[in-house]
Amino acid sequence: MRIKLLIILLVVNVLASAQSRHIINIPNIPGYQTLKCDFHMHTVFSDGTVWPTERVEEAWHNGLDAISITDHIEYRPHSKDIVSEHNRSYEIAEPLAKQLNIILIRGAEITRSMPLGHLSALFIRNANLLARDNVNDAIREAHEQGAFIILNHPNTKEQQPVWLDEYTQLLRNGYLHGIDVYNGNEYYPESFNWAKEKNLTVFSNSDAHRTIGMMYEQAQQRPITLVFARSRTEGGIREALFSRRTVAYFENSLIGNSSLLEPLFFASLNIPATPLYIQNGTSNLIFITNNSDIDYELELVQPGVGFDLPQKIILKARRVTPLEISGNSNEIAKTSTLNAYYQVKNLWINPEENLIITFSFRNI
Ligand code: ZN
């Protein structure tokens, strides 16, 4: 009885200390749930400064759906104080993750000097078997365990911003599936190019060593990988990662394929379907509601025929923004559909290219 009470008190204590959960307003898109994830972080079991359960609490508090703790296999500076095998950080975090409904993916970071550098292996079954003298053996072992493998922060100082033959070899063997375009506070345009060229899944991960609170002022400032999954499960995430259905999200910029960014943009907005009555010399206001946490920065691509549109608009997060359309010639009387073409300056489909969207309005 006493033990039961003690357990209940401990559970209540953990939840109470997490205060409340932030809600990240990023909508689902047709066919998929949009999961908010961070697949790269450390604990005291490698070179981090936090206990594994802290990573789960942070994820819950910040409004994430899934995380992976990716402690280094080879680099464990606290090993005098923390004597343990490689699966321990996952095992300690797992019960709390279950309780808080955070999907915890078993992972590890294979950490070698160049040429291979740092690789995260997700969905592994036993991290101990990745501790091998030869890095190729470690990678092969991860692959045999069914791992999804990410090339981490490939352009930081200790690693060259060039695509190496070793990476090509990994790709040929089916040992490389994803790449960081954001890591910590850094952005890697080269990685974005490589992701396009080599069909790699894009990631935005914190690589947190300290607490998230020490790294970012607010929950929504941490790097997030948006995963478009058929279900909110580990299996759903795994399928989505191997199918490259991710968007890298950091500091109000989103990086990914147009096939994901476009539906995400439109799912964020509520645009009234009521027809317009615009003639030469008159104007209408269309009130666009942005229900998401993303500020969409729009810039006109080409002017309308017979009507004027604003050159720039910001559809602010969780605000209603009026879009003014004014007729400027008699041409407008002949057009029943008014198309407005904008590029979205914070949605990136290539390092130099923004997503272009079309608003279509009926004019009667
Ligand atoms: Zn790391």
Do 207 and 298 lie in a common domain? Answer: no
DSSP reduced 3-state for 159: coil
Please identify, among 219, 254, 289, the residue that sits at the C-terminal boundary of a domain: 254
Q: How far is the CA of 55 from the centre of ligand 1 (A)?
A: 14
Query: Is 151 found in the same domain as 212?
Result: yes
Instruction: Give the Å distance between the CA of 41 and the centre of ligand 1.
Output: 6
Q: Give the whole-number percent of the chain exceeding pLDDT 70.
A: 93
CA of 164 to the centre of ligand 1 (A): 20
Could you tell me the distance, in angstroms and rounded to a whole number, from the CA of residue 42 to the centre of ligand 1? 7
CA 252, 255, 256, 262 torsion: positive or negative?
positive
**Ligand 1 centroid to 279 CA: how many Å?**
59
- Is the distance from CB of 255 to CB of 247 less than 8 angstroms? yes
Task: Report pLDDT for 112.
Answer: 85
Distances (CA, A) of 317 to 48, 110, 259, 311: 34, 39, 22, 19
Residue 11 included in any domain: no
Give the CATH number for residue 304.
Answer: 2.60.40.10
CA of 72 to the centre of ligand 1 (A): 7
In-domain check, residue 174: yes
How many angstroms separate the CA atoms of 56 and 65, rounded? Answer: 10
- How many residues are listed for the chain in this entry? 364
Residues 248 and 274 in one domain: no
- Chain-centre distance for alpha carbon 307: 38
Give me the pLDDT at residue 307, please.
94
Residue 39 CA to ligand 1 center (angstroms) comes to 10
Give kind and range of the element (H or E) at residue 14.
helix 2-17
User: Does residue 145 fall inside a structural domain?
Assistant: yes
Which pLDDT score is estimated for 220? 75
40 C-alpha vs ligand 1 centroid, how far in Å? Answer: 6
Q: Are residues 246 and 134 in the same domain?
A: yes
DSSP three-state, residue 80: coil
Q: Look over the chain and give the mean of its residue pLDDT values, rounded to a whole number.
A: 92
Q: CB burial class (10 A; 0-12, 13-18, 19+) of residue 300?
A: middle
Distance 246 CA to ligand 1 centre (A): 20
User: Which residues sit opposite 148 in a β-bridge?
Assistant: 122
Residue 148 or 1, more confident: 148
Residue/partner pairs of 313-317 with CB below 8 Å, 24 or more apart: 313/342, 315/269, 315/288, 315/290, 316/290, 317/25, 317/290, 317/292, 317/293
pLDDT higher at 75 or 266: 266
Helix (H, G, I), strand (E, B) or coil at 21: coil
Instruction: Assess contact for 69 and 122: CB atoms under 8 A.
Output: no
Residues 154 and 46 in one domain: yes
Residue 205: per-residue pLDDT:
97
Q: What are phi and psi of 44, to 5 degrees?
A: -60, -15
The Cα-based distances of 206 to 43, 184, 359 in angstroms read: 13, 4, 35
- The answer to whether residue 309 is domain-embedded is yes
Same domain (yes/no): 151, 195: yes
Both tokens of 33, joined, read 């749930």
- Could you tell me the distance, in angstroms and rounded to a whole number, from the CA of residue 187 to the centre of ligand 1? 15
Give 110 Cα–ligand 1 centroid separation in angstroms: 9
Q: What one-character-per-residue DSSP string does 114-149 give?
A: TTT-EEEEES-S-GGGG--SSHHHHHHHHHHTT-EE
Residues 54 and 168 in one domain: yes
Amino acid identity at 304? G
Position 17 pLDDT exceeds 90:
no
Same domain, 159 and 273: no
Same domain, yes or no: 186 and 292: no
More confident residue, 358 or 13: 358
User: Does 198 share its domain with 74?
Assistant: yes
Give 204-241 pLDDT, tens digit per residue.
999 999 999 999 987 778 999 999 999 999 999 999 99
Task: Using the predicted structure, report yes or no on whether residue 155 has a pLDDT greater than 80.
Answer: no
Residue 275 belongs to domain spanning: 268-362
Using the mean position of ligand 1's atoms as its centre, give its distance from the Cα of residue 288 in Å: 41
- Same-domain pairing of 39 and 178: yes
Q: What is the DSSP code string of 321-347? A: EEEEEEE-SGGGGG-SEEEEEEEEEEE
d(CA 296, CA 290): 9
152 alpha carbon to ligand 1 midpoint, in Å? 7
User: How far is it, in rounded angstroms, from Cα 336 to Cα 350?
Assistant: 34
Please state the rounded mean pLDDT for residues 183-201. Answer: 94
User: Is the confidence at residue 140, as pLDDT, over 90?
Assistant: yes
Do residues 104 and 124 make contact, with C-beta atoms less than 8 angstroms apart?
A: no
- Residue 98 or residue 363, greater confidence: 98
Of the residues 228, 254, 280, which one is the last residue of a structural domain? 254
Which of 231, 254, 277 is where one domain is finished? Answer: 254
Is the link from the previous residue into 115 a cis peptide, with omega within 30 of 0? yes
- Which CATH number does the domain housing residue 28 bear? 3.20.20.140
Asked whether residue 1 is assigned to any structural domain, the reply reads no
Instruction: For residue 49, report the distance from its CA to the centre of ligand 1, in Å.
Output: 13
Do 176 and 277 sit in the same domain of this protein?
A: no
Q: In 3-state terms, what secondary structure has residue 360?
A: strand
Model-wide pTM > 0.95: no
Q: What's the rounded Cα separation, in Å, for the pair 288 and 307?
A: 19
Please tell me the total count of domains within the chain: 2
Protein residues placing their CB within 5 Å of the ion ligand 1: 109, 207
Confidence of residue 121 (pLDDT cuts 50, 70, 90): very high
Ligand 1 center–CA 109 separation, angstroms: 6
Structure confidence at residue 43 (pLDDT): 97
The H-or-E segment that residue 2 falls in is helix 2-17
Q: Has residue 162 been placed in a domain?
A: yes
